[in-house]
Amino acid sequence: MMADLLLSSALRVALVLAVGLAASGLLARAAATTRRLVLVMTFGAALLVPLVAAVGPRWSVDAPAAWVGLAHESATETATAGPTGDGATIGGPAAMAPGPARPASAALVSPGALGALGALGGLAWLVGAAALLARAVASRLRARGLVRRAAPVESATWLAALGESPATLRVSTEIDSPFVTGLGRATIVIPADALTWSRERCCLVLAHELAHARRRDVLAQAVGDVVCALHWFNPLAWLGARRLRDVCEVAADDAVLGTGVRPSRYAEELVAVATALALPSAALAMADRSSLEQRVTSILAARLRRAPLAARGTGIVLALGVAFAAAAACASPQDATRTPDAGGRPPRGPATDAAFQRAVDAELAALTTAWSPVLATIVVLDPATGEILANAGSRSGKPADAATTVALAPGSTLKPILIAAALEQRAITVDQKFDCAGPRLYGARAIRDASPNGTLDVAHLLAVSSNTGASKIFDALGGEDYLTTLQRFHFGAGPGALPARVATGSYEGAELAIGDSMTATPLQMVAAYGALAADGVYHAPTLEHGAVPGERLVSSETAAAVLALLETAVSDEAATGRAARVDGAHVAGKTGTAGWIEGGRAVTYASFIGIADLPERRVVILVGVVAPREDMSGGKVAAPAFARIVSRVLHHE
């Protein structure tokens, strides 16, 4: 997850830097103050965009398939209320960007290898960033040391030239050219021999350094240093920082020329005070020899624009910059090549099975008539190949590819993944018992079951969908291991979102354990169950015939154990999924019920994910219905729909 977050941040910041540098280049004939404004905004956006991307809203935009999934979605939906239905807590849905299944090539690298590469990359980034941030701090401390050791200026000439300026003026024997420093109140430090300079030179030097102080150029340079440290691997950051430093100097020169001084005279004075002595990067020297030739050329250019932008022009530049930064932070790419059929119907391919598609279409029509859903989706998957055998969906009564375009809180359908993770890590055993009596308190908040329970083993804990029991399994597993498992099951990539971290023993961790505080598309959920149904091997969903390369997520033993638990979640008399039973078919599955408040009323997402063994093949079917009905639940709405679909196919109806 950290590797995904770093990659997403790096790509977004690279885009910001590239556009900012391009804009400053196109404005080569504009005043230096205009180019400085563009670069300052660029570095400010580079610093803020990753933060906004982590917590801000998402705007779906079409993009090439290769780009989809690079923008990590780390913002989460917040739970608001207590339990509903089969025990899942209320959580908001998020209409996320559609995206394709992970390409088959990704399965050729094991999750462990990907995790190791991500960890090494994260470590390399951390070491580099820490070293450069330490260097920036050291430079700041060195500049402060120079100021502290410098003496107050008592020269009448310099004090008269300083006038009413709030800047502090000091003199140092350790430098040979003036500089300005200070993130807040500016301090101007002059060399000792400057006490003998003419009044004209003193006025020119102070005019230049005070221009830096008024525009907070030292602070702008500090922001650039931080961006370079955090994105040390990106040459655009270093190029931009160098360009920002240069344009700040040219803008300060233009401010001096704006006082009416003759350009040739100012150029002479600039050359006279030029220095080769290295100063801290936290200080802006008036005459750095590395940029002296460029600045003298700029000063002597007769037709160069020097006047700053008017208030209206500045406002326009700021508005454009803010709009672009917001787009860079909040844009979430969607695959422009995966669009629904004409009329908005979900895409179908060679893998579509006619019998299943007829059954799914008929059941979707029945659900639409019975519940008038805001959204409905049914997906059928062959877990052995990843082939999507049927896909039907609707939004507000119209055909829509809801399986890939909408991410919802999965509710209790996520609990089998939690149990699989805990069994795989040997954090629990199948026959282990948990005290599920009463609510579990986390300060002023509580996790509670839909109905009272006592001590339950794992099978019956899943069958009755105990939230309290799931929270205790989460604590036994640990937050870090659970998040890693969810990543392995391909959650948090593309559509849907995972929290960046959850602490063991926390209320937030308990919410995640019971299918809240994260979102996933129906296709992601049915594919995750497909891995459990295929001996622990994940096959990325596809519309084409033929199995894609498999990716083992859990051991055969873990997959078999969870399947047995899912059978109990249908066959037990107290199970929430008992309405999914089908005569003549072996069925396993889990209900889910999640809800949220929308427009002042409760809206419920009822779902069931089932695994059915038919004579020809094993299939995984997800039924999900979103409707403004408080009496809905996965067991009441989705499980019976699953049973009818299987029965239609089984009996060739």
Distance, CA of 441 to CA of 426 (rounded, Å) = 26
Instruction: Indicate whether 250 belongs to any domain.
Output: no
Residues in a beta bridge with 455: 435
Residue pair 63/334 in contact (Cβ under 8 Å)? The answer is yes
* Model pTM score: 0.54
Domain hosting 571: range is: 79-96+339-650
Instruction: Indicate whether 126 belongs to any domain.
Output: no
Which amino acid, 325?
A: A
Distance, CA of 262 to CA of 266 (rounded, Å) = 6
pLDDT value, residue 80: 32
For residue 423, which of 511, 485, 491 has the smallest C-alpha distance?
485
Task: Give me the helix-helix angle, 479-488 and 415-424, nearest 10°.
Answer: 110
pLDDT value, residue 233: 92
Instruction: Indicate whether 241 belongs to any domain.
Output: no
pLDDT value, residue 95: 35
Distance, CA of 505 to CA of 478 (rounded, Å) = 8
Distance, CA of 257 to CA of 512 (rounded, Å) = 62
Measured in whole angstroms, the distance separating CA 206 from the mean position of its chain's CA atoms is 46
Considering its fold, how many domains does the chain have in total? 1
Task: Give per-residue pLDDT as tens, 160-191.
Answer: 888 888 889 999 998 888 888 988 888 999 88
The DSSP element (H or E) to which 37 belongs, if any, is: helix 32-55
Residue pair 263/299 in contact (Cβ under 8 Å)? The answer is yes
Instruction: Indicate whether 51 belongs to any domain.
Output: no
pLDDT value, residue 397: 84
Task: Give me the helix-helix angle, 639-650 and 354-371, nearest 10°.
Answer: 150
- Tokens found for residue 273: 């005070």
Instruction: Indicate whether 274 belongs to any domain.
Output: no
- φ and ψ at residue 414, rounded to 5 degrees: -85, -15
pLDDT value, residue 63: 52
Instruction: Indicate whether 386 belongs to any domain.
Output: yes
pLDDT value, residue 572: 94
Could you tell me the CATH number of the domain that includes residue 377? 3.40.710.10
Instruction: Indicate whether 639 belongs to any domain.
Output: yes
Q: Label the pairing between strands 440-442 and 537-538.
A: unpaired
Distance (Å) of CA 611 to CA 138, 379, 562, 635 = 61, 12, 12, 15
Distance, CA of 68 to CA of 89 (rounded, Å) = 30
Residue pair 530/564 in contact (Cβ under 8 Å)? The answer is no
Distance (Å) of CA 68 to CA 61, 101, 349, 500 = 10, 10, 21, 19
Low-confidence ranges of the chain (pLDDT < 50): 1, 65-85, 87-112, 114, 335-343
The DSSP element (H or E) to which 237 belongs, if any, is: helix 235-257
Q: For residue 125, how many C-alpha atoms fall within 13 Å in the half-sphere facing its CB?
A: 18
Instruction: Indicate whether 58 belongs to any domain.
Output: no
Distance, CA of 423 to CA of 21 (rounded, Å) = 52
pLDDT value, residue 77: 32
Distance, CA of 367 to CA of 501 (rounded, Å) = 37
Task: Give per-residue pLDDT as tens, 395-452.
Answer: 988 899 989 889 999 999 999 999 999 999 999 999 999 999 889 999 999 999 888 8
